[in-house]
Structure 1
Amino acid sequence: MVNKLWEKVKPALSEPVLRCLQKQSFKTMTPIQAAVIPLILTCKDVVAEAVTGSGKTLAFVVPMLEMLLKKQKDDPLKKDFVYSVVITPTRELATQIYKVIQLFLEEPELCHITISLLVGGRPVETDMESLKKGSHITVCTPGRFMDLLAERKQLNLAGRLKELEILVLDEADRLLDLGFSATLTTILQYLPRQRRTGLFSATQTKELQDLIRAGLRNPVVVSVKEKSTISTPILLENFYVIVEPQDKFLFLLNFIRNRRMMKGLFFLPTCACVDYWADILPVFLPDQKVFAIHGKMKQKRSKILEKFREAENTILLCTDLMARGMDIPSVEWVLQWEPPLSPAALVHRVGRAGRAGAAGHSLLPLLSTEDAYVPFIKANQLVDLQDWTQSKDQIKVTQKLRDKVLSMMHEEQKKDRSVFDKGQRAFVSHMRAYSKHECNLLLQFKELPLGHIATSYGLLKLPLMPEIKQVHKEQFVGPKEEIDFNSITYRDKQREVSRLKKLEEYRRTGVWPSKKKKKMAQTQPWEKAKMDKEERKQRKKKRKELKQQNPEGKKGKKRRAVTQAELDELAADVALIKRLKRRKITQDQFDEAFDVDK
């Protein structure tokens, strides 16, 4: 079937493009490529939906290059014009697409086509210089592209887009999830209407449908799925396992040790969690390379990702930054600490494995209170999670292992106060993220055994949180011996000197110098804060409804209507005053008529 698809599309492609595909050992064509490439080449707007790893990048790169080659024959490409724009949600995905296109531009017939990468994390001036040198194809993130559009004096990017042939929005639903809706609407206003537009995503959302109506003209919708019953690649096996909350890390640690995986992704809830486990996990995996990446790493991200691609016997700790569009060869396993905040994100997470027809696996540990998530995700996202306990491989967690691992985690925090601080921040940020789950009816924060979870983090003490009750303190298993937390020092000497000065001032004044005193009323549980916010929202809604019922803005009780008799009496009084002014009656007669006492 795939060979037939290739033979069907092959005649429409030029020699340079075919030659480059052959160099990359491209011998088969995926259904999404076979469906989309002819449509774009015949100047159709396309909305493409396909599972992750199905080859969506080549589905728009190949026709984009073919369109530029055709335009070159009719009218040579001009240096100062941008003919193709690809917008992606993250700089990592933009860099990946940029490198794919660069492979094609190495062909002699295509080397005259110029390309630029416009992403954040570097000076805007660098990107401006890149555009001035010539950029027939621009791969960018929406924020940076919007910044350059706003720069009129030195660049005038809007003027360079007058000859735009094709616009591609890759991972379009993710662009909207990240809050780029207003930015995209503004960008579309700068672009010529006579263009081709392609929207590519793995899932369809209501916001995406709104964008389709705003930016495309009579688009052709292409939806390609492996099976009607699943939304992930057919060779990807997805597992779940019910674990005790205090044993989650121990289970995952043993799982990684037993696999000896060449490449694995480990998704964690927050950036702070990535930072903490990046310090702890290497202690237990001395033979594996452990990398860490999250959205708050600005300059380091590209270097870390490149090292991970090149390494073997490695695992990457990450947030959902890595969940979309990233094509990393040979990822065997996708591990997750817990379900993502959005159900749709699970499809993208697990889709980092099992790409382009390769086999892959994913594992999601769940607490006993979260077991309803399995049928929910099957119905909501068509992801079939199999029970790991039914497999032959069994992971056992013994009391001896618990004691040993906990002791080692405690020692790591005692050696360096920065690890202790990271552990506290990681736990608090994790709990805060859990309270914001979209599936909060299934994943309820109030049901979490916070003490057991803090134990799984290997914390030396429970953080000061309003949500932590006495029952949680009883669940928590900390160090066996008493610890003077002020005696834990920073490995960094400068930080330690600064801490000691603050500690001395605290002992003298009773106030920690770097922290402002907060009112007690400001400290409240997140659930209470959420309820207060909802109450304010309801009050505001009620005021709005009352205002609509009384558009003139009249306040207080409704005034009594004036009777006709009162109007007649008023008219008679006015007539009497006029007669007095005209001297038709005397003052005495006027006073008598008004019954004025003398």
Structure 2
Amino acid sequence: MTPIQAAVIPLILSCKDVAAEAVTGSGKTLAFVVPMLEMLLKKQKNQELRKDFIYAVVISPTRELATQISKVIELFLEEKELSNFTLALFVGGRSIDIDAQNVMKGAQIIVCTPGRFEDLLSERKNLNIAAKLKDLEFLVLDEADRLLDLGFRNTLTAILEYLPRQRRTGLFSATQTKELQDLVRAGLRNPVVVSVKEKASLNTPILLENYYVVVEPEDKFLFLLNFIRNRKMVKGLFFLPTCASVDYWADMLPGFLPDKEIFALHGKMKQKRTVILEKFRQAENTILLCTDLLARGLDIPEVEWVLQWEPPTSPAALVHRVGRTARGGASGYSLLPLLPMEDAYISFIRANQKVELKDWKCSKDHIKISEKLREKVQSILHNLQKKDRAVFEKGQRAFVSHMRAYSKHECNILLQFKELPLGKIASSYGLLKLPLMPEIKQEHKEQFMGPKEVIDFNSIPYKDKQKEAIRLQKLEEYKKTGIWPSKKKKKKAQTQPWQQNKVDKEERKKKKQKRREMKMNAGNKKGKKRKTITQEELDEIVADAALLKKLKKRKITEEQFDEAFDINDQ
């Protein structure tokens, strides 16, 4: 029994609400599964449990983690004395009608994601799940802080309204946040707060060794490629900043690592995620490229190395990322490459998250990257993009999405976007050209190491023959008219940096709010004569009416109408 299990299980069995914090990989799942089943056994001895009632609910932030928890419970239900209990898994990615049918059949234990459970509670009123929950014994919020990070606060509030107050509740997480403390006060009655750390000065498992290495921006991919080639890892996780980055490197890496099986997984893969994760579990000598979707709860004991492209957007996410290895008492390693201007992150993460990063000093990985090697690797990256326009476009999207994510970093005082050498980073991606971005300055263009030959980008074909035929047809029309044909009206080109756009957006919101307040104040001043409408107000009313008329005649889309009124900003 691990420390968190020894601390939490007796408390839950003595009818206490618990808010538990423990380092990742410390056995939190069993800390709530074991007492949950014990409670149901005890209740079963005192009274016969109804097949159509729900007695335990486990809510998890992602379908991958929910599926994993469900499998752990299934192993217990194979025991004879527990075989009478029924279990159902409710997650997204499949028809809600299937889950509705499972509810009708009866499920005494439910493992679910919050969105799907709320849908079943509120939108499927004919199921009357609220009535089936009136004898609920135990509610578990696993990775509770992640539930809040993903914006499920309102969803959780709605779910809690359906649940009886006379219940046991457990919140489990590897990190504590202010939002989580608010949830504890709202969802638990006189909770016992349990914080178990394996080592007082660290926030990660004892057998986990975390390393960093400082590399030049243009050489980051080369270093990581060389690092992977020098490791005989059975399984490795490679965290990338965005979904588009995962898609791009999933196309690129297999050509450089023919002896390894490369998998890719991110949140936009709705139907494929479960299948891909299962294939990764079964494979050997493999690497899974992923986003922070898999930073929580994923339990694959064979994962030896966790690699990262750059620091995660949230400092707490680093703890969860590296916690995918060194689980259950096994040893594990992680590596974080940093750019020269990011070295302050080392002391920051030590103070902020109690994660000690050691300098990676392995001579065989600190080889000097020659100009010849750099040119050879870039040539391969360029050729792969020239053969398929889809890959070329993926590279452009990957870089832009990466830069957008970096500009929104929570540690933006240390990791400043304006200091990034964008041209050198684009060179590390092996791009054929710099994307059209207002942030790209002349100095970045001078840094960029693109192909030496002149490329006609219109001549790059799609490998997909159907897509290529459509593209060629559009290209012919473009040559005749000078306008690229498209069903969707293109948005107005961005002419200023993202940060300035954000400032302008806030200003528009303030102006709208001020106008609303003025109108409300005018309405509240009863008995007073309303002041004369100004010409500016009159012009605004006329413009608003014209927009509404265009919307009714379908001359503009609802998105354009919303944007004009800043409805999305409310």
The answer to whether the 8 A contact 2:301-2:328 is kept is: no
Secondary structure of the residue aligned to 1:292 is strand
> Following the alignment from structure 2 to structure 1, what is the Cα–Cα distance between the partners of residues 126 and 519?
49
Which of 271, 275, 284 aligns to 2:243? It is: 271
Matched, 1:81 2:57: no
Matched, 1:353 2:325: yes
> Following the alignment from structure 1 to structure 2, what is the Cα–Cα distance between the partners of residues 325 and 110?
25
2:171 counterpart residue number: 199
Matched, 1:462 2:440: no
> Following the alignment from structure 2 to structure 1, what is the Cα–Cα distance between the partners of residues 456 and 364?
46
> Following the alignment from structure 2 to structure 1, what is the Cα–Cα distance between the partners of residues 362 and 503?
42
Which residues in structure 2 correspond to 1:178-577 (within 5 Å)? 178-389=150-361, 394-514=366-486, 522-536=494-508
> Following the alignment from structure 1 to structure 2, what is the Cα–Cα distance between the partners of residues 402 and 344?
34
Give the AA of the match of 2:94: R
> Following the alignment from structure 2 to structure 1, what is the Cα–Cα distance between the partners of residues 519 and 259?
68
Query: How far is 1:186 from its partner?
Result: 0.8
1:12 counterpart residue number: none
Which of 89, 107, 112 aligns to 1:117? It is: 89
Which residues in structure 2 correspond to 1:117-136 (within 5 Å)? 117-136=89-108
Secondary structure of the residue aligned to 2:195 is strand
The answer to whether the 8 A contact 1:254-1:395 is kept is: no
The answer to whether the 8 A contact 2:438-2:494 is kept is: no
Deviates more, 1:515-524 or 1:371-380: 515-524
Query: How far is 1:541 from its partner?
Result: 7.9
> Following the alignment from structure 2 to structure 1, what is the Cα–Cα distance between the partners of residues 305 and 56?
36
Which residues in structure 2 correspond to 1:83-102 (within 5 Å)? 83-102=55-74
Q: In the TM superposition, what whole-angstrom CA distance separates every residue of 1:63-85 from its partner, at most 9, and x where no partner exists?
A: 11111111111111111100000
Secondary structure of the residue aligned to 2:307 is strand
Q: In the TM superposition, what whole-angstrom CA distance separates every residue of 1:367-412 from its partner, at most 9, and x where no partner exists?
A: 1111111111111111111111377753432222101100111111
Give the AA of the match of 1:455: S
> Following the alignment from structure 2 to structure 1, what is the Cα–Cα distance between the partners of residues 271 and 493?
39
> Following the alignment from structure 1 to structure 2, what is the Cα–Cα distance between the partners of residues 252 and 126?
43
Query: How far is 1:330 from its partner?
Result: 1.3
1:588 counterpart residue number: none
Instruction: Report the aligned-residue RMSD.
Output: 2.1
> Following the alignment from structure 1 to structure 2, what is the Cα–Cα distance between the partners of residues 512 and 390?
52
> Following the alignment from structure 1 to structure 2, what is the Cα–Cα distance between the partners of residues 393 and 409?
22
Deviates more, 1:385-394 or 1:514-523: 514-523
Secondary structure of the residue aligned to 1:154 is helix
User: What's the TM-score once normalised by structure 2's chain length?
Assistant: 0.89
Secondary structure of the residue aligned to 1:389 is coil
Give the AA of the match of 1:453: I
Give the AA of the match of 1:51: V
Rg bigger for which structure?
Answer: 1
Query: How far is 1:533 from its partner?
Result: 3.0
The answer to whether the 8 A contact 1:309-1:329 is kept is: no
Give the AA of the match of 1:106: E
> Following the alignment from structure 2 to structure 1, what is the Cα–Cα distance between the partners of residues 514 and 359?
48
Give the AA of the match of 1:368: P
1:167 counterpart residue number: 139
> Following the alignment from structure 1 to structure 2, what is the Cα–Cα distance between the partners of residues 100 and 485?
52
Give the AA of the match of 2:51: K
Describe the shift of the 1:391–1:544 C-alpha distance in structure 2 as closer, same or farther (beyond 3 A).
Answer: farther
> Following the alignment from structure 2 to structure 1, what is the Cα–Cα distance between the partners of residues 250 and 365?
27
Matched, 1:158 2:153: no
Secondary structure of the residue aligned to 2:328 is coil
Secondary structure of the residue aligned to 1:259 is coil
Structure 2 unaligned spans of 5+: 532-570
Give the AA of the match of 1:99: K
2:109 counterpart residue number: 137
> Following the alignment from structure 1 to structure 2, what is the Cα–Cα distance between the partners of residues 34 and 342?
31
Secondary structure of the residue aligned to 1:463 is coil
Give the AA of the match of 1:260: K
1:45 counterpart residue number: 17
> Following the alignment from structure 1 to structure 2, what is the Cα–Cα distance between the partners of residues 187 and 245?
46
Query: How far is 1:524 from its partner?
Result: 2.2
Q: In the TM superposition, what whole-angstrom CA distance separates every residue of 1:461-515 from its partner, at most 9, and x where no partner exists?
A: 1111111111111111111111111111111110111111111111111111127
Describe the shift of the 1:199–1:418 C-alpha distance in structure 2 as closer, same or farther (beyond 3 A).
Answer: same
2:553 counterpart residue number: none
The answer to whether the 8 A contact 2:260-2:286 is kept is: yes
The answer to whether the 8 A contact 1:116-1:137 is kept is: yes
Query: How far is 1:547 from its partner?
Result: 10
Give the AA of the match of 1:230: L
Secondary structure of the residue aligned to 1:109 is helix
> Following the alignment from structure 1 to structure 2, what is the Cα–Cα distance between the partners of residues 429 and 59?
39
> Following the alignment from structure 1 to structure 2, what is the Cα–Cα distance between the partners of residues 131 and 153?
12
Q: In the TM superposition, what whole-angstrom CA distance separates every residue of 1:262-296 from its partner, at most 9, and x where no partner exists?
A: 11000000000000000000100000000000000
Deviates more, 1:481-490 or 1:158-167: 481-490
Query: How far is 1:131 from its partner?
Result: 1.4
> Following the alignment from structure 1 to structure 2, what is the Cα–Cα distance between the partners of residues 522 and 472?
19
Structure 1 unaligned spans of 5+: 1-28, 558-598
Deviates more, 1:64-73 or 1:283-292: 64-73
Query: How far is 1:527 from its partner?
Result: 2.0
Describe the shift of the 1:151–1:530 C-alpha distance in structure 2 as closer, same or farther (beyond 3 A).
Answer: closer
